[in-house]
Structure 1
Amino acid sequence: MSLYEILGTIETGLVFGLVALGAYLSFRVLKFPDLTVEGSFPLGAAVCAALMSGAGVSAWLAIVAALIAGFAAGWLTALLNVRFGILNILTGILVSIALYSINLRIMGGPNAPLLGVETIFDSFHVDGIPSFYITPVVVGAFAFLALVLVNLFLSTGYGLAMRAAGANPAMAAAQGINVGRMTLVGLGAANALTALAGALFAQIFGAADAYMGIGVVIVGLASVIVGTSLLPSRTILQATFACLVGAVLYRFAVALALNADWLGLQASDVQLVTSVLVALALVVQGAGFGLPKLMRGKAE
């Protein structure tokens, strides 16, 4: 792999690291199998692209709008489950399907280009330094900020209540915690992170597409599984950091697999590679071969 490809892989991995943080909140903290991300990822991209190219809104305000839209999507999913008692996994499917049509309406078609529009990355342009050096740094700053904010939130009293609601809803409710409210806020935050990732992705590659959310939930899960399997995750900070690292490692694994000529894989096989990597990670984790377990075994 060339330096350009390596930096591009890190850049994409950090973008999906935001998705991984969202997946950690929903799947690990709240124990909620949320499939809304299949729609909230392109929702963030669609809102960002429509505002920037259609309404002339600045890239920064467009990102804020994408965050709000993502939060609303996650909140709606939680509302269907909490208020109306619809099965949690089904609510995510329903909302993600609805978001497909909504995204088409927002963009006015299946895609929305961002050609000739100033992005947030242009704000950090430095003469003499190629953009492929700057973009990973900016995305890394977003990922680091999200990591800090998620950890600060989960360490507050409200965050501890949310963790309790996910770990044992009955016990949390007995202690006076509003489990439904925790689910609403948690899923909203998770999908806000996913929408942010979609907005950044659109600005990096210059377009938003209604189909760009396909397989995003698997990418997020793969990042969480790979990261927490390879790195110690006894604390929230370790676990969230492992999610970011897992996202980057996952992208490198996909890139290496696609660049391995002897495998005969093509770019269209990325979903196949993703499925195989997730399956292998689950098998390894289920068999107890995760690196943290090996490290604990040696220490003991």
Structure 2
Amino acid sequence: MRDNVKGVVRQVGLPRIIIGGFFLLLLFTASGFGMDLMQIVSDIIRRWGMYGVLALAMVPAVQCGIGLNFGISMGIVGGLLGGLIVIEWKIAEMPSLVAVHPLFAMWVAVLIAIVIGVVLSTGIGWLYGLLLNRVKGSEMTVTTYVGFSIIAFMNIAWTILPFKSGELIFPNAGEGLRNTISLASSYSGVMNNTLKFSINLPFGKVEIPTGLLLFFFLMCLLVWLFMRSKTGAAMSAAGANPMFAQASGINVNRMRLIGTTLSTVIAAVGILVYAQGFGFMQLYNGPMMMGFTSVAAVLIGGASATRAKISHVLIGTFLYQGIMALGLPVINLFIPEGNLSEVMRLIISNGIIIYALAQTGGESRD
């Protein structure tokens, strides 16, 4: 019996069991206090789709051998620039597009933003990959440093970039981008609202953001297909055993470049999916910790520093966002002081991140 329990723990992963148990505890506590569980479940599903693509960016990075990519901020910057350019050009307000359907205009806007973000992040990711090829063995330190450094650099860039739209720049200043950019006139909630429907249950109504989930699953499918392609298999081999891969004729440096670039590109797409869900983009220090939350999500999903799979992204993002969605409302019932809400959010999120990082091992749990 004991051996069977140990086998289950080893296969599922202790962090996943503990985090899953904590999630269920929060769920039962919320139910006991009479909270609207269906509304919370709807929020968890929405957050799952919004954050999932950012967590997905970890898969090619881990598989190619650079490890947990704290530097996805490089790609996030590319995605943010794509979103800003679309707003500057007023794509979603073009009469020819709006005449077809307002939702069509919003989809064109977000897809153009994604294309621009992918182009920019491809170049950024390639240069980033060249850097990581020169610091083999110290990737985690370098990616963390690069992730924070690009945010610091962009804090300066956001104040001098030549955007002119009144929706982007500080009022009465004439230059410098706002801290928070509203997407109300461009593509706010376009994925969330596409094909959205509700399921009426005995306990309430659950809203399903169909378009958002379909896009998230499509991204997962594309990455899954790539990882099973000839290039993806070679990339995984290079990450798992560089010396053997080199002896087999695989160009390890090139595979690392491909994985790093792909991770950066997915992060660019992810930030736009995330932003449209909330209805705004945050510049300056807003994206600083997104690399850490993405790392924590895949780790509690069962990934390690040397292996990550799509299932780790799906499970880990759901658990992480579930705890974040449930944690604050439950804690506010015990500590009703409103000023503590942001403090508790940081304690919960950073606690999960620290725990997930502490559980990182050299072998996959699956």
Normalising by the residue count of structure 1, what TM-score does the alignment of the two structures yield? 0.79
**More helix per residue: 1 or 2?**
1
| Percent of aligned pairs sharing the same letter | 23
- The counterpart of 1:60, out of the listed 108, 111, 121, is 111
Q: Which amino acid aligns with 1:61?
A: I
Instruction: Write the distance in 1 (CA, Å) between the matches of 2:232 and 2:360.
Output: 27
Aligned-residue RMSD, C-alpha: 3.4
- 1:261-300 alignment, distance < 5 Å: 261-262=333-334, 266-281=341-356
Q: Which residue of 1 aligns with 2:184?
A: 115
Higher Cα radius of gyration: 2
Instruction: Write the distance in 2 (CA, Å) between the matches of 1:271 and 1:60.
Output: 33
Q: Which residue of 2 aligns with 1:298?
A: none
Q: CA deviation at 1:163?
A: 0.3
Q: Which residue of 1 aligns with 2:280?
A: 207
Instruction: Write the distance in 1 (CA, Å) between the matches of 2:150 and 2:358.
Output: 34
Q: Pick closer, same or farther for the CA change 1:213–1:114 going to 2, 3 Å.
A: same
Q: CA deviation at 1:177?
A: 1.0
Q: Pick closer, same or farther for the CA change 1:279–1:36 going to 2, 3 Å.
A: closer
Question: What secondary structure is seen at the aligned counterpart in 2 of 1:112?
Answer: strand
- 1:151-170 alignment, distance < 5 Å: 151-170=224-243
Instruction: Write the distance in 2 (CA, Å) between the matches of 1:145 and 1:280.
Output: 30
Question: What secondary structure is seen at the aligned counterpart in 2 of 1:172?
Answer: helix
- The counterpart of 2:127, out of the listed 72, 76, 81, is 76
- The counterpart of 2:323, out of the listed 234, 253, 258, is 253
Q: CA deviation at 1:280?
A: 3.5
Q: CA deviation at 1:55?
A: 1.0
Q: Which amino acid aligns with 2:47?
A: T
- The answer to whether the 8 Å contact 2:324/2:349 transfers is yes
- 1:206-245 alignment, distance < 5 Å: 206-210=279-283, 211-228=285-302, 239-245=309-315
Normalising by the residue count of structure 2, what TM-score does the alignment of the two structures yield? 0.66
1:97 maps onto 2:149 in alignment? yes
Instruction: Write the distance in 2 (CA, Å) between the matches of 1:252 and 1:127.
Output: 20
Instruction: Write the distance in 2 (CA, Å) between the matches of 1:143 and 1:165.
Output: 27
Q: Which amino acid aligns with 1:172?
A: A
- 1:136-215 alignment, distance < 5 Å: 136-210=209-283, 211-215=285-289
- The answer to whether the 8 Å contact 1:59/1:119 transfers is no
Q: CA deviation at 1:111?
A: 3.7
Q: Pick closer, same or farther for the CA change 1:122–1:90 going to 2, 3 Å.
A: closer
Q: Which residue of 2 aligns with 1:232?
A: none
- The answer to whether the 8 Å contact 1:37/1:213 transfers is no
Q: CA deviation at 1:52?
A: 2.4
Q: Pick closer, same or farther for the CA change 1:196–1:269 going to 2, 3 Å.
A: farther
Instruction: Write the distance in 1 (CA, Å) between the matches of 2:64 and 2:253.
Output: 14
- The answer to whether the 8 Å contact 1:43/1:99 transfers is no
Q: Which residue of 2 aligns with 1:19?
A: 54
Q: Pick closer, same or farther for the CA change 1:5–1:150 going to 2, 3 Å.
A: same
Q: Pick closer, same or farther for the CA change 1:279–1:5 going to 2, 3 Å.
A: same
Q: Pick closer, same or farther for the CA change 1:115–1:282 going to 2, 3 Å.
A: closer
- The answer to whether the 8 Å contact 1:44/1:67 transfers is yes
Number of residue pairs matched by the alignment: 280
Q: Pick closer, same or farther for the CA change 1:25–1:127 going to 2, 3 Å.
A: closer
Q: CA deviation at 1:154?
A: 0.8
Tell me whether 53-62 or 65-74 shows the greater mean CA deviation: 65-74
Instruction: Write the distance in 2 (CA, Å) between the matches of 1:22 and 1:125.
Output: 24
Q: Pick closer, same or farther for the CA change 1:95–1:282 going to 2, 3 Å.
A: closer
Give unmatched runs, 5+ long, in structure 2: 1-34, 92-108, 169-175, 199-205
